[in-house]
Structure 1
């Protein structure tokens, strides 16, 4: 605003300077001229605070004119209007992703100054609890709110400036924040890699949100054996507060199975399926490896065996110089009797010593007791030869057996 002082005299036109005052304080003028011209001086100024001011103009005097002061003029300064704007750092976002809302409060003309005070951010009619609390303090006219939305949908975000002594409260127009469901991953573990028919095992599925999403998914998980949904005897297939679901189950027949867990998703989280987990269901009576169809130079032999099938099991036969030993390999029970191990194909490793050392593998067909091909070793002169076979179970145990030719 501009203040104008006029100095008059009974004769002539006074010259000199005028000081403008707000109460007892000289006003710092940003414009105008405080030196009289044709008896008039002006002062352009603004007010940084609201209230009623007592304004005077003091003429300093200049011979032959004496100093003088004006009477008081009351000036009412009202709080300035404001406008508030709000913007989002990321839209669309996903559930659990941190988003920063920024509110900017300014005083439009003819008001001015930098508003101070606090801002509240709202989602529809609800106050948002930001990382720093529900109320944010303006700094240089700006306030921010960092928050992660827990629900998908379109959210109407506003910023409400509370106002101050010098600036009037205002509310921004709404900005739409689109929050999409977060992606998920599902992992699956089994309490045992190998079980026998009827033996219980526990399957555990864990569902987590994929960054930048966050939070803990809710909903249900389905456990499957291939395309067949498993029947769970116990456990809960509804995700708990940690995003975990369990299934206690068993299998009636032997065989290799591929188990998966599928999260059904929810309004806030997308569906996902785990990688397959291999589960072997094997014959409970199988205890180790043994030999069948043993021949020396083509003649059938009955080996003499010592030790326990599974570990330290050793069988022996005899033969002349340069004799050739041959046998098939399979699974046996504790007594050394051949048994079928699995309804899936299994692979057994072998090594030989003698005239020509070697190594390789043989396979045992589903539901059979012995390998589809034989393994052989040859003595070098009178020196012994041997066949050693090994097999690693799904549970992690290693079975071995040796057939010696002396």
Structure 2
């Protein structure tokens, strides 16, 4: 299957300039292409995962991806898809974030590939040294005001207001495309569908400044969810690619909880499974949706891609332990991941009667209730049912000396943390 045909089958093409010309170019030569990632936080989130993996698909097909970190444009702020002005971040902060994002991008692309090694660039290298006169004379003169006002990213903000700073973002991104065209023979820019105006502005700048130039643009759909909620958001917040901000277990859980209506789309978007493998998962979804085979495959593939095999196995282990209630085999680190949002109580002491601890920690409201629950077999300590009313917890009831997991009933967990 030709690369563009595969991208189309996966639903990854929203718009493309000169489809036939791009198909011909991709068939004839190793094409350098780029996608930009602005450092607006200290980590990328899963909204950035689709363009990153699309760069990887191009590399696997023999082309040369360039991941552009927006060290300069990150100081300005892209108005695309935003209803109001972004908060400007300090230069030192953006520099730190740029380094972290550079490290994240390097996990997905092969920088040692023979013939088409990936590269990472930072647009601060050329925009940072640009003086205002050169910017206005050599770049700004190629952009008509009417042309810029007609772009969706600007038009959508006319009512609420847009500063000259964000208005100029389109010119800076266009300049990026031009510089990469000149320095790296980069002929294709990809990005989310909200970047179409910026991408086509870059193509126009290349056309006006480079003789006989031929470059292309391709946009990817913005990811949506069938239930109307925002992709990449949960009750606990954004799903990040940094394991310190979103643990591998939380990351795995996000994908395994995918709606049946979305799972096949996400398998095409976010995994490198073949058409045959995805067709088989679709058949299983149709015939036995309760087994959630498609969701498991999605969660495993994406977690492995982002966090590696070891983190995936850890996430699966935590999930199975929580499902079965057998938590005694979990490590302290795994408990931190799996019980992050579970009510907890800090205890500073040695031995403690279980009845007292149940009341102190808020598991039950009274000692009478605690005794009743114990007698009825409703209390579990580290996954083991306890019915002994006079049970005293000792250091032997602590996992790695740090935690005791108490469960009341089937699913109500509490974590006892020891100082």
TM-score (norm 2): 0.21
Q: Which has the higher strand share?
A: 1
Which structure has the larger Rg over C-alpha atoms?
Answer: 1
TM-score (norm 1): 0.21
